[in-house]
Structure 1
């Protein structure tokens, strides 16, 4: 698919209405994961950010809604989603440059640039490890076509010295991520995300620094929902997570441990 028609899209509010994004009615639709990723990035005005696999722009535009004055760039393989990211940026009065390309075959002009931050929400499942979605866009977003190690290799090359990579991924892929970081990125920190108290973490957010030398740090799990089980319909996010999702707040652990 090269583009979405208007009747194939819905517009959804993010960050309590601070941001409105067009998304396909059928296809990959952003949930809370890219919002949490954006909230973990300690970017400051004037810095540059590159998102690998930006989709319709949820993560990088949520970051832009919180931090003004960033230089924003995205890479997206699927033309229809790249166009959506451009449209979403324009509709929210945010300047975002999106390149349609395979991240392993970036255009020369992008290969010559380096960024203060690289962010990524790669597909969660190894190729062939999940039932393929009927929609090609959703299938590409969920199922790995480019190995996770390649994402980290490309991110490392595009980072400026002392620049940060932030990546959200399934917890069972953490070993793959840490192996890929060896010899390339340091000052590695991992923030597990658990749905409820007492539950295993299903997701992790990784932060790593180019040229970083600090010791590995594993943070205590960040709990997303109140209570130890689902008891009734309705929102049950913890106050910290609610502030991230509804108010566009930064996510605490990575801000209190800058290294």
Structure 2
């Protein structure tokens, strides 16, 4: 980690790519972004939309691992857009920079306004997202940039998943990471737009409650909901990640979906 104008340059995938991020403020990407990126398992040429991309870590992780992926970062904060653009100018990221573009856009826009912001209907093979997760009962942060990134609204999942369904091609994959308590709202918001939901609870250690949930779903699928085996980050003792989680977080493996039974 090094400082640039009171910001930081952080290494991901064991130094394979770098991300410029705000120092001591705003939402800083880490393990959540890397787990989210690992949900995209596609060796074909594909277009990936990262909704609410922040500084772009998750989308860049996809571009770093998948050589044929074209990634579009959508973020409404002009300051976070600027961080993503600075990252793409780093020489260390040159090997994927021409496959990543940044759009300043509110992902809750609708119809023509959404398309004008670069969110074209039926265009993307994958949509990834890490939606805001703080509700009104959570302690508010004095950090305005972080508060904006974490602010949940009553219709958040409905708004974000409506956009995801609009911009995905039929059969395209939605991937997201959220808090476990959001599972019911997520399933409801998927409605008839998405099927074949695969839900994975993420636990810090054996015997501890889940702290995150990974969800993937397919646009237009009629397959049933399934819960996958839990993902456990650490052993009972020590701070090292499990070998599989370490592979996911460092771009050596993808957390691929199970083959669908039924369309």
TM-score with structure 2 setting the length: 0.88
Alignment partner of 1:108 is 2:116: yes
Q: Which of the residues 244, 250, 255 maps onto 2:253?
A: 250
Contact 1:37/1:205 (8 A) holds in 2: yes
Q: SS state of the match for residue 82, structure 1?
A: helix
| 2:54–2:80 Cα contact (<8 Å) kept | yes
**Partners in 1 of 2:241 and 2:54 — Cα distance?**
25
Distance in 2 of aligned mates of 1:144 and 1:97? 26
In structure 2, relative to structure 1, the CA distance for the partners of 1:245 and 1:111 (3 Å cut) is: closer
Measure, in 1, the Cα distance between the counterparts of 2:32 and 2:14.
Answer: 16
Q: For residue 65 of structure 1, what is the aligned residue in structure 2?
A: 64
Shift in Å at residue 107 of structure 1? 4.4
Contact 1:26-1:135 at 8 Å conserved across structures: no
Corresponding residue SS for 2:118: helix
Matched residues in 2 for 1:129 and 1:34: separation? 24
> Per-residue deviation at 1:111?
4.1
1:214-242: CA deviation from partner (whole Å, max 9, x where unpaired): 22110011000011xxx55xx32111111
- Of the candidates 134, 140, 146, which is equivalent to residue 138 of structure 1? 146
Q: Does 1:240 align with 2:248?
A: no
Runs of 4+ in 1 over 4 A off after TM superposition: none
Does residue 157 of structure 2 align to residue 148 of structure 1? yes
Q: Does 1:76 align with 2:75?
A: yes
2:205 corresponding residue in structure 1: 196
1:22 positional shift: 0.8
Q: What are the within-5 Å matches in structure 2 for residues 4-43 of structure 1? A: 6-27=4-25, 28-43=27-42
Which secondary structure does the structure 1 equivalent of 2:83 belong to? helix
TM-score of the superposed pair, with normalisation by structure 1? 0.89
Deviations 1:25-80 (A, max 9, x none): 12221120010110121122410000100000010101111100211111101001
**Tell me, which stretches of 5 or more residues in structure 2 are unaligned?**
none
Give the Å deviation of 1:250: 2.2
Q: Distance in 1 between matches of 2:80 and 2:44?
A: 27
Per-residue deviation, 1:212: 1.1
Aligned length: 246
SS of the residue 1:201 aligns to: coil
What is the RMSD computed on CA atoms of the aligned residues? 1.7
Question: What is the CA-CA distance between 1:205 and the residue it aligns to?
Answer: 0.7
Cα deviation, 1:136-157, whole Å, max 9, x if unaligned, reads: 1111122214612111111111
Which whole-Å CA distance do the structure 1 matches of 2:130 and 2:152 have between them? 11
1:97 counterpart (80, 83, 101): 101
Q: CA deviation at 1:181?
A: 0.5
| Counterpart secondary structure, 2:211 | strand
In the aligned structure 1, how far is the partner of 2:201 from the partner of 2:118? 32
